[in-house]
């Protein structure tokens, strides 16, 4: 049963959502007609353990949080791919920056992927990071393959896009009505 049909039906009649695995344990015959008759008998004899059904606002809240988790996991996967690309080119920025996807790290990665000169990249960094210019220059003063540059560009675009979507989703979550996580049981 879909959530929308459940929401429509519950307004007019009692609805029980049972776990299919529990009902399957009672019978091994598999036809819709036999199953429906058997399930009706189980329901009439109160032998179906109702599953937990959250109210609509709680389900929506949970789906937003689940989607945010999925997006964060995808962003992490792509960041790991970017780390792998940098490592394959011997660009070990982790030793110089605490977070290569922080403000200064993104300036460096953007500079690398757009083919900027090392001095141009260094000029855009914050004063505290510019103090490490010798270390950064030593790391960035090497040839990078076109395929790595292209793959890094794609990773940075995807990370930016996911960052934007996660931020928008977080704003939506914050403006949702306060969801009290009490369970609504329907019998």
Nearest to 6 by CA among 53, 42, 71: 53
Return the H-helix or E-strand segment holding 161: helix 146-175
Is this prediction's pTM over 0.85? Answer: no
Q: Give, rounded to a whole angstrom, the gap between the first and last alpha carbons of the chain.
A: 16
In a 13 Å sphere around the CA of 183, the CA atoms on its Cβ side amount to: 7
Cα-based distances in Å from 28 to 34, 51, 59, 145 = 10, 21, 32, 60
Domain spans, the chain: 3-44, 56-175
pLDDT tens for 132-179 read 888 998 888 888 999 999 999 999 999 999 999 999 999 999 988 765
The predicted model gives 86-92 an average pLDDT of 91
The predicted model gives 41-69 an average pLDDT of 87
Domain 56-175 annotated CATH 1.10.287: yes
Nearest to 144 by CA among 105, 120, 171, 114: 114
């Amino acid at each position: 049963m879909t959530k929308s049909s459940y929401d429509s039906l519950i307004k007019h009649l009692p609805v029980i959502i049972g776990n299919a695995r529990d009902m399957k344990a009672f019978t091994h015959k598999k036809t819709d007609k036999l199953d429906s008759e058997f399930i009706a008998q189980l329901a009439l004899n109160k032998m179906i353990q109702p599953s937990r059904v959250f109210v609509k606002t709680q389900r929506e809240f949970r789906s937003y949080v689940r989607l945010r988790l999925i997006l964060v996991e995808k962003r992490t996967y792509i960041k790991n791919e970017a780390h792998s690309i940098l490592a394959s080119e011997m660009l070990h920025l982790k030793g110089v920056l605490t977070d290569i996807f922080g403000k200064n790290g993104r300036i460096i990665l953007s500079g690398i992927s757009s083919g900027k000169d090392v001095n141009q990249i260094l000029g855009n960094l914050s004063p505290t990071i510019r103090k490490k210019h010798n270390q950064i220059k030593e790391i960035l003063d090497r040839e990078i393959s076109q395929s790595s540059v292209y793959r890094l560009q794609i990773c940075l675009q995807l990370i930016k896009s996911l960052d934007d979507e996660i931020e928008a989703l977080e704003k939506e979550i914050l403006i949702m009505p306060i969801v009290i996580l009490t369970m609504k049981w329907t019998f």
